[in-house]
């Protein structure tokens, strides 16, 4: 697998773990769903923290770049789970965020 594809895939899975980990407690708090949703929510947030530790670059750089991927994944979640079609501005904004992520992560660096 190309290292870039591995990095982007890891970011996508990390974002999904965080979104699920936050969405399940939201369902309990706002939608009156079962309190038992907190268990998989907590596990998902633990997986999110662990996944962040797998990224191969400095933590600050990972967090900065991760924000761009999170924005993109949140817009996909909006569409896939909430059933709300993204606006053109949602798509433009998430594209700009992904461009920022790519610049941060894939910029050439001296060793």
Residue with tokens 């596990």: 43
**Which pLDDT does position 41 carry in this prediction?**
97
For the record, the structure tokens of 66 come out as 């991760």
Q: Is the pLDDT of residue 55 over 90?
A: no
Q: Is the pTM of this model over 0.75?
A: yes
Query: Tens digit of pLDDT for each residue in 21-53?
Result: 999 999 999 999 999 999 999 999 999 999 988
Question: CA 89, CA 76: separation in Å to the nearest integer?
Answer: 13
Query: Tens digit of pLDDT for each residue in 63-105?
Result: 888 888 899 999 999 999 999 999 999 999 999 999 998 898 8
CA-based Rg of the chain, rounded to a whole angstrom?
Answer: 15
Cβ atoms within 10 A of the Cβ of 84, count?
12
**Which pLDDT does position 47 carry in this prediction?**
96
Asked if 7 contacts 51 with a C-beta cutoff of 8 angstroms, the reply is: no
Is the alpha carbon torsion for 17, 23, 29, 32 positive or negative? negative
**Which pLDDT does position 9 carry in this prediction?**
87
**Which pLDDT does position 40 carry in this prediction?**
97
**Which pLDDT does position 111 carry in this prediction?**
62
Could you give phi then psi for residue 23, rounded to 5 degrees? -70, -40
């Amino acid at each position: 697998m190309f290292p870039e594809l591995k990095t982007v895939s890891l970011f996508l899975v990390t974002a999904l773990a965080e979104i699920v980990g936050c969405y399940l407690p939201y369902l309990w708090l706002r939608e009156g769903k079962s309190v038992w949703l907190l268990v998989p929510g907590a596990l998902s947030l633990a997986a999110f923290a662990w996944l962040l530790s797998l990224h191969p670059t400095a933590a600050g750089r990972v967090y900065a770049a991760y924000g761009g991927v999170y924005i993109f994944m949140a817009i996909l979640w909006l569409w896939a789970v909430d059933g709300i079609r993204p606006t053109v501005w949602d798509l433009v904004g998430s594209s700009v965020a992904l461009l920022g992520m790519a610049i941060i992560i894939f910029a050439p660096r001296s060793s």
